[in-house]
Amino acid sequence: MSKISVSIAGGSGYTGGELLRLLLFHPHVKIKQVTSEKYAGKPVFKIHPNLRTITSLRFSTIEELKDCDCLFLALSHGRSLHKIDFFCGLAPKLIDLSSDFRLLTTEQYRRWYGINHPRPELLTQFVYGIPEIHRQEIKSATRVACAGCNATAALLGLYPLYQTPLCHPAKTIVEVKAGSSQSGRSPSPGSHHPERNGCYRVYQPTGHRHIGEILQELSLLWDSSFHFTATSVEMVRGIQAVSHVFLSEPATEKDIWKTYRQFYGSEPFIRIVKDNSGLYRLPEPKILSGTNFCDIGFSKDPLSDHLVVVSALDNLMKGAAGQAVQNFNIMNGLPEKTALNFPGLHPI
């Protein structure tokens, strides 16, 4: 099988670096170019120190990008949009990791990003890139918009339940704990180690942008009873979403098990984690660092309609670069786990 040539626009950020790491070990991929306007000409390992001796690639500029089979966009939000025609012209397949094409309508962009999306006609051309929800469309898609990391964690925990009558209408509150890599590579007063270290900072009690994509995928209206709070916690990689679902119909834990199993039974990257003994009884992000798993567990209050769903993932992997590679594999008819079989470390 001849290799698939790929390039990465925006290769100096954390998701770009993670993509690079994965693709360098992908047996069917040849990386052509990786861009960084700031570090053009420099070896990529200067920015991604884990890649020292792994690759001799150097950064190019976006302008220098050449044709390839699949182009990954790992640019900051808003920057894919600007040059989207240029990017579309470079490759028949395009996988965007930014938020620029996740929402389907201009109304939603106005509401959640406060912008008038300049290219509304493109929005429906992008498939929302969560394979567990849109695998069939992704198979034949030429353009995929990968989901936000917090949205991925919340959605994977909730989606199966929302396909049942249990959650119509349910009140749901999602609490997301997020690591510092989520905010990217640029230092800021809030990312300064003495301030960020050991912090539990409720940075978005309400109104988080990712709510937009979650409502869209759960087919909920804005005025629904869906609530979402995000807190920065002491962690570099990782997201844990604790979702409090108030079921609209009685259900036992067995019912919930069944719902998840039916939906995720054959999913390669979803694990149901719900044990009665041991230390890791419900999902924890730390053992997922570097993996593409989304672990999902739950606990039903026997005395009320309260269901606690816990989902965890690595925001740079299943929440970004790993998801992108999974989509790449699907779009190219490759086994879905290719280049994504790292099991994670313990202890860590």
Which residues partner with 173 through β-bridges?
A: 227, 244
Q: Which is nearer to a copy of itself, 113 or 246 (CB)?
A: 246
Interface positions, 261-290, toward a copy of itself (CB under 8 A): 271, 273, 275, 277-280, 282, 284-287, 289-290
**Alpha-carbon span 330 to 139, nearest angstrom:** 5
Q: Residue 68 catalytic?
A: no
Q: Is 198 a binder of a copy of itself (CB under 8 A)?
A: yes
Which residue in 338, 334, 326, 337 sits closest to 131, CA to CA? 326
The active-site residue out of 68, 146, 149, 167 is 149
String marking each residue 37-76 x if it binds a copy of itself according to CB under 8 A: ---------xxxxxxxxx----------------------
**Alpha-carbon span 183 to 238, nearest angstrom:** 12
Q: Which is nearer to a copy of itself, 123 or 247 (CB)?
A: 247
Q: Which is nearer to a copy of itself, 47 or 130 (CB)?
A: 47
Q: Is 166 a binder of a copy of itself (CB under 8 A)?
A: no
Report the chain's terminal Cα–Cα distance, integer Å: 37
Q: Is 201 a binder of a copy of itself (CB under 8 A)?
A: yes
Q: Is 324 a binder of a copy of itself (CB under 8 A)?
A: no
> Of 63-71, 131-139, 150-158, 293-301, which segment contacts a copy of itself by CB under 8 A?
293-301
Q: Is 206 a binder of a copy of itself (CB under 8 A)?
A: yes
Residues with Cβ within 8 Å of 34's Cβ and at least 6 positions away in sequence, in order, are 7, 8, 11, 16, 20, 44, 57, 59, 60
Q: Omega of the bond prior to 160 within 30 degrees of 0, cis?
A: no
- Grouping H, G, I as helix, E, B as strand and the rest as coil, residue 92 is coil
Catalytic (active-site) positions: 149
